[in-house]
Chain A
Amino acid sequence: MNILVCISRVPDTASRVIVGSDGKTIDPQGIKYIVNPYDEIALEEGLRLREKNGGTVTALTVGGESSKEQLRTALAMGVDSAVIVKTDSSFDSFFVANNISEYAKSINPDIILLGKQSVDFDSLQVPSILGELLGLPSVSVVTKLAIEGNTVTAEREIEGGKEVVETSLPCIISAQKGLNDPRYPKLPDIMKAKSKPIEEKDAVNSDERVTVMGIEIPLKKRAGIILGGEDKDIDEVVRLLHEESKVI
Chain B
Amino acid sequence: MIDFSFTEEQNMLREMVRDFANNELKPIAQKIDEEESIPDYIIDKIRELGLLGASFPIEYGGSGFGEVGYCIMQEEIARACLSTATFIGAHQSIGTNSIYIGSTEEQRQRFLPALTSGEKIAAYALTEPQAGSDAFNLKTRAELDGNEWILNGEKMWITNAPFANVFAVFARTKLGISLFYVPAETPGISIGAPEKKMGIRGSKTASVTFDNARIPQDYLIGREGKAFIYAMKTLDAGRIGLGAAALGPMKELLELSTVYAKTRKQFDQPIANFQAVQFMLADMAAEIYGCESMLYRTANDYDHGVVTSRQAAIVKLRCSEALDKIADLAIQVHGGMGYSRELSIERVYRDSRINRIFEGTNEIQKLVIANDLIKRNGKM
- Residues of chain A touching chain B, judged by Cβ–Cβ distance below 8 Å, are 34, 69, 72-73, 76, 184-191, 193-194
Contact = CB atoms under 8 A, between A and B. Distances in A.
A188 B9 contact: no
A188 B63 contact: yes
Interface string B1-31: 0000001110011011001100000000000
Contacts of B7: 194
Contacts of A76: 12, 16
Contacts of A191: 9, 58, 63-65
B49 A184 contact: yes
Contact of B9 (A34, A186, A194): A194
A190 B19 contact: no
Main secondary structure of the interface of B (DSSP, over half): helix
Main secondary structure of the interface of A (DSSP, over half): helix
Contacts of A69: 8
B50 A188 contact: yes
Interface residues of B, number: 19
Interface string B247-260: 00000000000000
Interface of B: 7-9, 12-13, 15-16, 19-20, 48-51, 53-54, 58, 63-65
Contacts, number: 46
A190 B20 contact: no
A76 B51 CA distance: 15
Instruction: List 8 A-B pairs, minimum CB-CB distance, nearest first.
Output: A187-B50, A187-B63, A186-B50, A188-B63, A190-B12, A194-B9, A191-B63, A184-B16
A34 B50 CA distance: 22
A186 B51 CA distance: 8
Contacts of B65: 187, 191
A73 B20 contact: no
Contacts of A186: 48-50
A184 B63 contact: no
B239 to A, nearest CB: 23
A184 B9 contact: no
B63 A185 contact: no
30 contacts: A34-B15, A72-B8, A72-B9, A72-B12, A73-B12, A73-B15, A76-B16, A184-B19, A184-B20, A185-B12, A185-B16, A186-B48, A186-B50, A187-B13, A187-B16, A187-B49, A187-B50, A187-B53, A187-B54, A187-B63, A187-B65, A188-B63, A190-B9, A190-B12, A190-B13, A190-B63, A191-B9, A191-B65, A194-B7, A194-B8
